Amino acid sequence: MDSADPHLKRKRFPKPISPFFSLFPFCRHFSFTNSKVFSLRYFILVLFGFITFVYVVSVALHVNTSERFRPVLAMSSFSLLSSRSIQVVRKIASFSLDLEIEERVLMPDHVLLLVSNVESRGFVLKNQELECVYGKNELSESFGGRGGNGNDNDVLGGNVLSIDEYDEFRLIVRCPLPPLNCSAFVNLRTRDGNRIDVRGENGVWRSNQRVHSWENVAYTATLDGDSAVVLVKGLNLRPGRESDPSHFSCHFGLGNWESDERFVFTTKAVTVAQEVVRCLLPRSIRESPEKTQAIRVSVGVRPHVHVGAHERVIVPSVAKIFNPGVEETKSNSMEKYELCVCTMLWNQAPALREWITYHSWLGVQRWFIYDNNSDDEIQEVVEELDSENYNVTRHVWPWVKTQEAGFSHCALRAKDECRWVSFMDVDEYFYFPYTTPRHQFYRTPGYAEQNNLRSLVENVTLSPEPIAEIRTSCHSFGPSGLKSPPPQGVTVGYTCRLQSPERHKSIIRPDALHATLLNVVHHFHIRKGFTYLNLPQSTAIINHYKYQVWDVFKAKFYRRVATYVADWQENQNEGSRDRAPGLGTEAIEPPNWSHQFCEVWDTGLRDFVLANMVDRSTSLLPWERSSL
């Protein structure tokens, strides 16, 4: 190589300022003409700068430990957790994971917080170490920033009501309603005063985060083929009817479109009925389903008095759709259950074991329990039943008075697992009376046998008629002279009923439902080309233990889960069949309650249960507890 080579090498030495020089600018004034001097001096300066940098950072971390500390949210291996099964521990590490409060919804009797837990697998919480923090109205703006420990004179703390896992990436934290003169913009902090971070999506701080009103919000969404089904509160559509979808639009985005419209995709609404809007997925999502990870969805509504032909008002949203993932793919490839049951309940844990045990004997294979804010022992009961191979799943459903929309959601969820799904309440029991060959109808004559209900739906499936709904009449039972809950269960204890049957309950084929998923009082609309079957009472009947002893019945006064049925304490529709005849709006026991609603003594189901389900060695029914 010629004599110019060393010179060329020196010219090729990089001149741009390195990150090190940007941190320590005095280093740029040195002249490195000698390679050996340069190597020694460069090494010394780098070493000195690095040591200085590490020292400064370590001191800063030590001083700000309390501000950087965060509790850690995590998901248990059990997919649906109650506040009792979630425990609180903290991660003692220098890089603790942050809780991120995504949304707040002001419910009628509490504030609901949706908290991100995407990076918190493997750790668990306990709500005893978290508390809700309320800012005074004049100081509420300060709660939208980074937080910190706060000032005890500026905030009020209250106990967290409960913590539950909601979906794959979010937890639910329920806080009491704010005290007088306090904002509903609720934060969380640990008992030692560490404030939970208030972040937006993608780690962006939001100083003006809203508190959504439960009266007007898109609250959940789920995928169904090439569409997304969005459940929306506040559309105020007429019950039992399909609405014109041209008045609505659908909006998809990764961020908050109120502040950043670059992330929004708009599609048309395909169907609209009650609180359910079916939206066409954007083409990019249809072609790449893996992109459906935590995409927010909402609905645009044409206002009644509109200023533009195409203008829509977008409903605030906490609803997100998620990629179903590997587990969903596995369930699609599995053999479907012949018969499943879906219910929505509130504080019905004591009734669950008898109801599930009895109907499992009749052939029910899968259970979907939509828990509407229970605070009893339902999680413990579900775990115990599932451990006994009853195949029970609890699905946390925090949205009050949304039974119809919840049933639509359950129908979609069950479609990939079940051929038939019964929608019924935990006080409703199928009963198969003794039947003769002349009255045989989709079942064998004589007394009911084990798996009789499953056999019936299998026979209907084999029918040449395209039947998609099986309707069964109900008999309503009264307290039957009792003043305390019957120790052997409702099927044995309540034996007196009203004479005339009431409205029917349905078993449906979820793959044959109308696209609107429209349902009213357990009755779904089915697609064109399918029909329904009315079961004769000689084949099957439902015993509805509707009017139980007063201590059980009075719980109905607190809240009812159905959307379009007035709560009992409200002065509405007092003559409706949905209310107890002659009962007012207050939870006051009427005279002679124990003997009301008794026109016909009917011991059929009691006699059947005692003859077929008693354990001969213990003389106990399957749902009874031994005193030993």
Helix (H, G, I), strand (E, B) or coil at 395: strand
Tell me: the pLDDT tens digits for 38-96?
456 666 666 666 666 555 444 444 433 333 333 333 333 223 333 333 333 333 233 34
Is residue 585 within 8 Å of 567, Cβ to Cβ? Answer: no
Q: 131: closest CA among 156, 111, 114, 151?
A: 156
pLDDT of residue 326: 44
Class (C level, CATH) for 100-213: mainly beta
- Give the residue from 547, 549, 534 showing the smallest Cα distance to 498: 547
pLDDT for the residue numbered 443 = 73
What does the alpha-carbon distance between residue 332 and residue 417 come to, in Å, rounded to a whole number?
Answer: 7
Task: Tell me the per-residue pLDDT of 315-369, one tens digit each, with 9 for 90 and over.
Answer: 999 999 987 664 454 555 679 999 999 999 999 999 999 999 999 999 999 999 9
Choices 3.90.1310, 3.90.550, 1.10.3470, 3.40.190: CATH for 335-612? 3.90.550
- Which contiguous run of DSSP H or E holds residue 553? helix 550-553
Output the pLDDT for position 130.
79
Report the greatest alpha carbon distance in the chain: 117
Question: Tokens 């919000």 appear where?
Answer: 217
Fold topology of 217-326:
Immunoglobulin-like (2.60.40)
Of the candidates 226, 242, 258, 243, the one whose C-alpha atom is nearest the C-alpha of residue 301 is 243
Q: Which portions of the chain are predicted below pLDDT 50?
A: 1-38, 56-97, 118, 120-124, 139-153, 199-208, 305-307, 326-327, 329, 568, 628
Burial-class residue 222 by CB neighbours within 10 Å (0-12, 13-18, 19+): buried
Bridge partners (DSSP) of residue 252 are 265, 297
Contact 396, 372 (CB under 8 A): no
98's tokens: 């942050």
Token pair belonging to 366: 């899968």
What's the per-residue H, E or C state across 12-24? CCCCCCCHHHHHC
pLDDT digits (tens, 9 = 90+) for 497-530: 999 998 789 999 999 999 999 998 778 999 999 9
Q: What are phi and psi of 216, to 5 degrees?
A: -155, 85
Give the phi and the psi of residue 47 in degrees, each rounded to 5: -60, -45
